[in-house]
């Protein structure tokens, strides 16, 4: 696994998956326009290293995870389905049938020790420590023309619950207000916001550490929708197959990933809010300005020669689609622990994760599709699922055209649509009220008599095996002729 971003970038370079941009480009709009253009090329384009951002001697890396091959490389798998298999194996250990058999489980037990991070004394991220450095020393991008300012778009924001001490790491954008303060855009449903809620109730300052350019596994894990109270570092230990190394911050009482390129140390005060936004968001539209807590910088620590790692969100597909795809594969086996009837699920890029969720199930009883919808609406960040389409297990949900075809042919809207109201994504500007609105489920499974269906469900068109074999032979002959 890659110990840091520097070694990941070197490997991308070796594999010819890195494009170096030597042209001096402005962090205000120019660099992000290139990133957007490249992300839209087939397969997501190459990773990018801007060697000469105007006004800074720190290079800017972007689109590092923005392709199937790079997200796989980052997470140490050949195919994202391997992640599902690994997690399935780890969470379903076989029952040993005796002592010798139990010994065979040792490798599994060893892997459990990777769950706990360890603290180191010397860390690359603290080669340079500056108490009075400002954010103006970093090439932070302004990504879209009407943005409220420059934004740190891929920060790993570390906090601790002031009461329980539980750690959380999440990616929440930070708008630069001036060289020592930023916005802290943790939405109300997220882990960081919960810690802040507790701090405000206690009337206490909440310390915050922000890691920029942490190693690839950790970066992904910070975006993962871990259940509240479960440390993202545990997931990083599982996927990275080694303990995450942490180092103590210099001005606050928090630990940060030792592998980071740059660390921002600071705090948010209870009761303080400031207008944040607008921001060109991953919805493909500008998010409206709103009030969010304020991050005060106390110290910047960094490598002697750091790289500034960033991402640009915008009209899909962008880099975040691949991070989301990894979560889809990581959480599938975990969701199946309580919903074993789920066969597969898919979040199309155009649905920006939660706007469109396609699920296939092994239907066992009347109303089963609706049970799955209710379960999703009650399960962590899946509560944001705006439209859930449930199909039978013989439908391949990874094939969006197949799902559209099946939905069109299997649904009577007067019978098969469920509408509910509840919490919706903070970024949903169409909702009836902020963070509150409607959600729709479409039952596109074959309906049963027990569900009131009185007809005979029509059979799917398939020819006989004999005719198919004849067709194969004829087709081979035909294509042989045309190619010679
Ligand atoms: C590039 C990127 C930017 C993100 N920006 C934000 C953000 O500004 N605010 C937010 O609440 N979530 C944002 N997210 C989503 C969170 O990182 C994600 O929901 C994560 O699971 C939160 O972790 P938590 O459950 O520990 O809060 C972003 C995700 C990505 C990939
Ligand atoms: Mn969390």
- Ligand 1 pocket check: which of 39, 223, 278 to mutate, most ligand atoms within 8 Å of Cβ? 223
How many whole angstroms from 169 Cα to the centroid of ligand 1? 9
How many whole angstroms from 320 Cα to the centroid of ligand 1? 10
Q: Report the SS3 class of residue 178.
A: strand
Cα 326 from Cα 81, distance rounded (Å): 9
Q: Which DSSP state fits 28?
A: B
| Percent of the chain's residues with pLDDT above 90 | 93
Interstrand relation of 294-302 and 181-183 (parallel, antiparallel or unpaired): antiparallel
Pocket of ligand 1 (CB under 6 A): 153-154, 168, 170-173, 185-187, 190-192, 223-226, 311, 313, 320, 323, 381
As residues whose CB is below 5 A from the ion ligand 2, the structure lists 168, 191, 226
Q: Report the SS3 class of residue 345.
A: strand
Task: Compute how many other C-beta atoms are within 10 angstroms of the C-beta atom of residue 113.
Answer: 11
Q: Please name the helix (run of DSSP H) or strand (run of DSSP E) that holds residue 49, with its range, or none.
A: strand 47-50
Cα 371 from Cα 261, distance rounded (Å): 45
Q: Please name the helix (run of DSSP H) or strand (run of DSSP E) that holds residue 86, with its range, or none.
A: helix 81-91
Query: What's the confidence (pLDDT) of residue 483?
Result: 53
228 CA: nearest ligand 1 atom: 25
- pLDDT digit string (tens) for 41-82? 999 999 999 999 999 999 999 999 999 999 999 999 999 999
Indicate if the alpha-carbon torsion angle 48, 53, 59, 65 is positive or negative: negative
Q: Which DSSP state fits 397?
A: T
Specify whether the CB–CB gap between 206 and 159 falls below 8 A. Answer: yes
Q: What residues act catalytically?
A: 281
- pLDDT digit string (tens) for 79-99? 999 999 999 988 887 788 888
Q: Ligand 1, atom 7: nearest CA belongs to which residue?
A: 172
Mean pLDDT of the residues in the chain: 96
**CA 310 distance to own-chain centroid:** 14
Q: Which DSSP state fits 360?
A: E
């Amino acid at each position: 696994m890659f110990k840091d971003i520097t070694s990941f970038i070197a490997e991308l370079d070796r594999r010819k998956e890195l494009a170096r941009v030597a042209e001096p480009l402005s962090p205000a709009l120019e660099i992000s326009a290139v990133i957007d253009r490249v992300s839209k090329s087939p397969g997501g384009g190459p990773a990018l290293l801007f060697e000469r951002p105007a006004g800074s001697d720190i290079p800017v890396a972007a689109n590092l995870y923005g392709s199937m091959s790079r997200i796989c490389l980052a997470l140490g798998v050949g195919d994202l389905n391997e992640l599902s298999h690994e997690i399935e194996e780890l969470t379903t250990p076989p029952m040993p049938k005796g002592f010798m058999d139990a010994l065979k489980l040792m490798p599994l037990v060893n892997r459990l020790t990777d769950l706990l991070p360890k603290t180191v004394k010397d860390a690359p991220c603290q080669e340079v420590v500056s108490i009075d450095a400002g954010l103006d020393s970093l090439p932070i991008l302004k990504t879209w023309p009407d943005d409220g300012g420059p934004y740190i778009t891929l920060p790993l924001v570390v906090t601790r619950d002031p009461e329980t001490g539980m750690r959380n790491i999440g990616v929440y954008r930070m708008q630069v207000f001036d060289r020592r303060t930023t916005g802290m855009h943790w939405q109300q449903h997220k882990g960081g916001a919960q810690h802040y809620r507790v701090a405000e109730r206690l009337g206490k300052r909440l310390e915050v550490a922000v890691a920029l350019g942490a190693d690839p596994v950790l970066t992904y894990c910070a975006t993962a929708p871990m259940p509240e109270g479960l440390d993202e570092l545990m997931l990083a230990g599982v996927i990275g197959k080694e303990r995450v190394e942490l180092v103590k911050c210099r001005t606050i009482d928090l630990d940060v990933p030792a592998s980071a390129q740059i660390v921002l140390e600071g705090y948010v005060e209870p009761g303080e809010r400031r207008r944040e936004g607008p921001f060109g968001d991953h919805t493909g539209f500008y998010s409206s300005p709103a009030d969010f807590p304020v991050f005060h910088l106390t110290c910047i620590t960094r490598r002697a020669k750091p790289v500034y790692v960033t991402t640009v969100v915008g009209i899909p597909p962008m880099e975040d689609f691949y991070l989301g795809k990894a979560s889809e594969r990581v959480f599938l086996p975990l969701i199946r622990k309580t919903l074993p009837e789920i066969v597969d699920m898919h979040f199309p890029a155009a649905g920006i994760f939660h706007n469109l969720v396609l699920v296939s199930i092994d239907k066992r009883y009347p109303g089963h599709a609706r049970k799955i919808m209710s379960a999703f609406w009650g399960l962590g960040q899946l509560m944001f699922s705006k439209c859930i389409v449930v199909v039978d297990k013989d439908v391949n949900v990874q094939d969006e055209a197949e799902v559209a075809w099946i939905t069109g042919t299997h649904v009577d809207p007067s019978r098969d649509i469920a509408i509910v109201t509840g919490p919706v994504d903070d970024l949903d500007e169409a909702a009836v009220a902020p963070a509150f609105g409607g959600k729709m489920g479409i039952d596109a499974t074959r309906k049963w008599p027990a569900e009131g269906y009185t007809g005979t469900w029509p059979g799917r068109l398939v020819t006989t095996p004999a005719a198919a074999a004849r067709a194969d032979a004829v087709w081979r002959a035909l294509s042989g002729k045309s190619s010679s």
